Amino acid sequence: MINLELPKKLKASANQAHQVAAQIFRPISRKYDLAEHEYPVELDTMSAMIEGLADSGTQQIGGASGGRGDSQVDLIANANGGNMSSLMNTLETAWGDVGLLLTIPYQGLGNAAIAAVATDEQLARFGKVWASMAITEPSFGSDSAAVTTTAVLDGDEWVLNGEKIFVTAGERSTHIVVWASVDKTKGRAAIKSFVVPRDAPGLSVARLEHKLGVKASDTAVLLLQDCRIPADNILGSPEVNVEKGFAGVMQTFDNTRPLVAAMAVGVARAALEELRTILTEAGVEISYDTPAMNQSAAAAEFLRMEADYEAAYLLSLRAAWMADNRKPNSLEASMSKAKAGRTGTDITLKAVELASTIGYSQRTLLEKWARDSKILDIFEGTQQIQQLIVARRLLGKSSAELK
C-alpha cells in the first residue's frame, strides 16, 4: 500500500512556505512583474529567516536545495529527506509567485548542482552560497553535451572562457555553477561543472534579458574571459572518465527537474483555484458525482485539468522520493518534468480562456501565470528533450542510438 499523506515534519515546513507565498509573494507579485529587473527588497528579510531556519535544522522555505537525502536513509525502509522537503516547499512558494521564488537569496538552482556532485569538503565551503547555474550557450539550448565553454588548468587555477546565456539569478547570485569542457577532444565526458565566485577576475554580466514571464527573476548573459578560479572549485573529480561520460554532471538534473516540475504544479494549482472561484461566481457548478459529459463544457474542462494536475503532482512526488531513497530516478525526473511542464502551460492558458475577459486582463493574476508557466516547460530541458530521455530509458537506447 502506498501512503501519500505527508509526514508531520513536511506538513509544517510546507505550511510555512505557503504562508510566505500568501503573505509576502502574492501581495508584491504584480509589482515586480511590471518592474522587471528591479530587485525585490522584500526578499532580504526572507533570506535572513531562511538562513536561521537552516541553521536550526528546519527545512528550507523554497528553492533548489535538494541533495543527497537524509544521512540515515540506508537504515530505514522509507525516507523523506531534503529532496521531498524542497519539492513541497517549492510547490507552495511557486503557488505564490514563481519569479520571486527563482530569486530567493541563497536558494538558486546552482545550489542543487553543488548538493548533487560536490565533495564533502566542497559542501562545507559552498553550503551557504547563493549559486545560479550557467549551462546554455548561444550555440545550443537543451543539448547539454554541446558545451563549448572551456576550462584549462593553469598551475593551481582553472582558466575559463566562454559565453553563457539565460542564467537565472545570474546578476544577483554570489556564485555561478558553470559547465565547461576540460578537453574538447574527449567529447561530453570532459564536461565538468565549476563554482565561480561573483568577484572572480574575468567574469562579467553582458546584459539582462527582457522576458515573457518570471520577470521578478533576473536572467543574465555572462561572459567568461580568462576567468580564473581556484583548482579545487571544480565539482567532483577533475579526471575525465570516457566510459562514464558526463553522467556525474547530469546527475544534477535528477535533483532539479522534479523541483522545476513542482514549480509548474504550484502555478497550475494557483490557476485552478482562481478559475474555480471565477466559475463558481458565474454560476458554473462543478460536480464530482456527475459524469463530465453531463456537465457544462466549462465544468468538464475543469475536471480534465484537475486530473492532469493530480498526475503531475504524483509524478513529482515519486521522483523526489526516489532521490531521497537513493534510487536511480533519471527516468522519473524527466517524466515529472515533461508532464508538469506541459500540464502547467495547458492549465494556465485554458484558465485564461475560460475566465474570458477577466482572465485576459490584469484584474487577476491569471494572465501572468500563463506567461510565467511557459518557462517551466523549457528550462532544465525542454518538453521534447524530456520525452526523448524517457524514450531512451524505456527502450534501452543510448543517446547515439536515439536522437
Q: CB–CB of 320/66 below 8 Å?
A: yes
Q: Give percent of the chain with pLDDT exceeding 90.
A: 70
Given CA atoms 392, 393, 396, 399 in this order, what sign does their dihedral have?
Answer: positive
Is 238 domain-assigned? Answer: no
Same domain, 372 and 289: yes
Same domain, 256 and 378: yes
Given CA atoms 17, 23, 26, 28 in this order, what sign does their dihedral have?
Answer: negative
CA angle 172/58/373 to nearest 5° reads 50
Same domain, 333 and 273: yes
Is 54 domain-assigned? Answer: yes
Same domain, 251 and 391: yes
Regarding predicted confidence, which is higher, 46 or 388?
388
The Cα 316–Cα 335 span in angstroms is: 8
With a CB cutoff of 8 Å and minimum separation 6, the contacts of 349 are 370, 373
* Weakest mean pLDDT among 10-24, 109-123, 287-301, 349-363: 109-123
The Cα 300–Cα 104 span in angstroms is: 37
Tell me: pLDDT of 140 over 90.
no
pLDDT of residue 189: 85
- What is the overall mean pLDDT for the chain? 89
Domain boundary among 107, 126, 145: 126
The Cα 311–Cα 71 span in angstroms is: 30
Active-site residue among 38, 42, 380, 401?
A: 380
Check if 380 is active-site. yes
Same domain, 210 and 286: no
**Residue 186 class from Cβ within 10 Å (0-12 exposed, 13-18 middle, 19+ buried)?**
middle
